């Protein structure tokens, strides 16, 4: 199965009108060259509409970093409904990022509810899974990933993965500069795909699995070379146009090799 590479920039809590406009202008100048890659930017929610407007005449797509798990509007102060994200032009939404899990108490179940809410709003969820350093060291990487994945399969069904993206983000690699080796990443991606293939081989084969965690311009090509690595979820390096574009170029080259 030929899976289209996807590179998504997770800006996290960074940005301003000025910085966003400069970054998007630089990305737009080159984005058309990477026609084999789907490129997504995920700015903070307050900037989605303005960034979306700037992306309008480009192949770049808009994504959000989080959404509320409700399916309908209501009294949830400070929260954002999936339908609102769709209305301002989002196509993707990150779900279950480890920062949401660790800093805001997001459980596997809540992640599964958000995954369902995203799809109900016709958004494509980018579901993040990953183990902590302690879990890797004590040999529980696979059981942790199974648990995180299982919560979503149980709540939403395997068919829901036909319209989703999975991101393997080892917590110990996020923002630390310690990326997983290409072999470590490929091994986990193959494991995740095989877990899904036990339920549905066709869906597993077509699912894009991104790697995230200190992806940089100089390590992206090796990481993307893994047979089961279909692109990246990029944090820090997504804030600099040259770095993000170099990562997109690495994906473009991998997709041709
Ligand atoms: P990083 O973040 O690239 O800065 O490590 C990745 C992420 O959290 O999605």
- The pTM of this model reads 0.97
Would you say residue 198 lies in a domain? Answer: yes
Count CA atoms closer than 13 A to 72's CA, side-chain side.
0
Model pLDDT for residues 136-149, shown as the tens digit of each residue = 999 999 999 999 99
The tokens describing 169, both together, are 């983000």
Top pLDDT among 149 and 175 is at 149
Q: Is the pLDDT of residue 102 over 80?
A: yes
The atom of ligand 1 lying closest to the CA of 234 is 3
Q: Which residue has the higher pLDDT, 57 or 229?
A: 229
pLDDT of amino acid 256: 66
What is the 73 CA–ligand 1 centroid distance (Å)? 31
The pLDDT tens digits of the residues spanning 82-91 come to 999 999 999 9
Question: Does 62 fall in a domain?
Answer: yes
| Inter-helix orientation angle 182-197/141-156, to 10° | 40
Does a structural domain hold residue 119?
yes
| 250 lies in some domain | yes
pLDDT in tens, 17-46: 999 999 999 999 999 999 999 999 999 999
Residue (of 156, 160, 226, 153) closest to 188 by Cα position: 226
Q: Does residue 72 form part of some domain?
A: no
- Split into its structural domains, the chain has a count of 1
Q: For the domain that residue 240 is a member of, what is the CATH number?
A: 3.20.20.70
Active site residue 169: yes
d(CA 222, CA 244): 16
Selected catalytic residue, list 69, 97, 106, 113: 97
**What is the per-residue pLDDT for 177?**
87
Ligand 1, atom 6, residue with closest C-alpha: 235
């Amino acid at each position: 199965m030929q899976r289209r590479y996807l590179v998504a920039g997770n800006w996290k809590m960074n940005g301003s009108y000025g910085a966003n406009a400069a970054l998007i202008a630089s990305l737009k100048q080159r984005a058309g060259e990477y026609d084999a890659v789907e490129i997504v930017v995920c700015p903070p929610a307050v900037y989605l509409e303005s960034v979306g407007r700037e992306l309008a005449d480009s192949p770049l797509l808009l994504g959000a970093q989080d959404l509320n798990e409700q399916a309908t509007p209501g009294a949830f102060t400070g929260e954002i409904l999936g339908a609102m994200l769709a209305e301002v032009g989002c196509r993707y939404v990150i779900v279950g990022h480890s920062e949401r899990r660790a800093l805001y108490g997001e459980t596997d179940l809540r992640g599964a509810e958000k995954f369902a809410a995203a799809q109900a709003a016709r958004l494509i969820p980018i579901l993040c899974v990953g183990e902590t350093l302690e879990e890797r060291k004590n040999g529980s990487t696979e059981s942790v990933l199974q648990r995180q994945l299982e919560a979503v399969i149980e709540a939403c069904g395997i068919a829901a993965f036909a319209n989703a993206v999975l991101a393997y983000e080892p917590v110990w690699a996020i923002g630390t500069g310690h990326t997983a080796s290409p072999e470590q990443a490929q091994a986990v991606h193959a494991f995740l795909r095989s877990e899904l293939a036990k339920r549905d081989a066709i869906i597993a084969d077509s699912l894009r699995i991104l790697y995230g965690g200190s992806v940089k311009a100089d390590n992206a090509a090796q990481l993307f070379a893994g047979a089961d690595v279909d692109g990246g979820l990029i944090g820090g390096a997504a804030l600099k146009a040259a770095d993000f574009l170099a990562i997109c170029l690495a994906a473009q080259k991998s997709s041709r090799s």
